[in-house]
Amino acid sequence: EPEVTQTPSHQVTQMGQEVILRCVPISNHLYFYWYRQILGQKVEFLVSFYNNEISEKSEIFDDQFSVERPDGSNFTLKIRSTKLEDSAMYFCASISNLWTGKAGANVLTFGAGSRLTVL
């Protein structure tokens, strides 16, 4: 079964450092997402991406965050200058089409996550 692949599975970094989290979505999917989960808290939407641009972002997704699809297969999340509060599990997800409004609508496929620890 097709999978969404995320690397690294765990990254430890110093505060202020740049971090890039990588995702390889399912090959025929068109919509891409990043979510995050701070330990003990809810899984939160960060950003959605379609047709090489951000389609929606949350208030969490400030100027320190950016996303890119550099080569048609990878989908990256960059944090320019990490803060302690960026420590979380980051999930990538993809979907082939948006919901059609019909029963049996498509659903997101999530990756296993990248755990980021900022010291």
Partner 1 sequence: AQSVTQLGSHVSVSEGALVLLRCNYSSSVPPYLFWYVQYPNQGLQLLLKYTTGATLVKGINGFEAEFKKSETSFHLTKPSAHMSDAAEYFCAVSDNPSQGGSEKLVFGKGTKLTVNP
Of 4 and 21, the one with the shorter C-beta distance to partner 1 is 4
From the number of C-beta atoms within 10 Å of its C-beta (0-12, 13-18, 19+), residue 109 rates as middle
- The single residue among 28, 41, 51, 52 that binds partner 1, judged by CB under 8 A, is 41
Of 14 and 99, the one with the shorter C-beta distance to partner 1 is 99
Of 81 and 97, the one with the shorter C-beta distance to partner 1 is 97
Distance (Å, whole) CA 64 – CA 6:
20
Show the site string, 60-99: x = touches partner 1 by CB under 8 A, - = not: -------------------------------x-x-x--xx
- Is residue 111 near partner 1 by the rule CB under 8 A? yes
- Is residue 4 near partner 1 by the rule CB under 8 A? yes
Distance (Å, whole) CA 104 – CA 102:
6
Of 18 and 56, the one with the shorter C-beta distance to partner 1 is 56
Distance (Å, whole) CA 94 – CA 33:
6
- Is residue 14 near partner 1 by the rule CB under 8 A? no
Distance (Å, whole) CA 30 – CA 43:
22
The answer to whether 81 and 14 are in contact (CB under 8 A) is no
